[in-house]
Amino acid sequence: MALWKEPAKSPSSPLPNPPDVARFDMPEPVEQPAPAAKAPSFNTEPAPASAKSASESHIAPDLVIEGKIEGAGHVRIAGRFKGDINVRGDLTIEHGAKVNGSVRAERVTIAGELTGNVETAAHVELLQTGALTGDVKSTTFSVAKGSRMRGQAEFGWDDKGGSPDAHKANGHVNGNGK
């Protein structure tokens, strides 16, 4: 007497299921995208604010680029860039990155090296590993201990003649207060 039950063969399946075998001699099939029905159209109107906050361009650490960056959206630089940057968004210069040129952005965060002026920005943040050689003109300016700066900084002034509690720092300034 047997203690197990023999599996019954299914009448609807004439062939047994083949075992799963990994095959290394054939490449995986790649799905091809369906061809476009018409040529893409380019929208020249500005993107809505929600789309602007989501878009970010990135220059990788191993890239060296010379030129000009203009437009809407955020830019993150981890490599080297030589030229002017004018964006309606945030600019982040990562630790190890080097930028040489003038900058205009809504918010500028410097963890790498910037040689050039920050001409207009709502906020400039110089992080501990950051180095800035040039002038800064912004609404607010924060400097972390250990960062380095050589140039002039104007902050706290509005476009209508200033405010009584505005500040101006001249000369050589670094994060150690020297």
Quick: pLDDT tens for 27-68: 555 555 555 545 444 333 444 444 444 588 899 999 999 999
Percentage of the chain surpassing pLDDT 90? 53
Residue 177: is its pLDDT beyond 80? Answer: no
Q: How far apart are the first and last CA of the chain?
A: 95
Locate tokens 């630089």: which residue?
77
What is the rounded CA–CA span in Å between residue 85 and residue 62? 19
Which residue matches tokens 């054939």? 26
Please state, in angstroms and rounded to a whole number, the distance separating the CA atoms of residues 48 and 30: 35
Per-residue confidence (pLDDT) for residue 157, from 0 to 100: 77
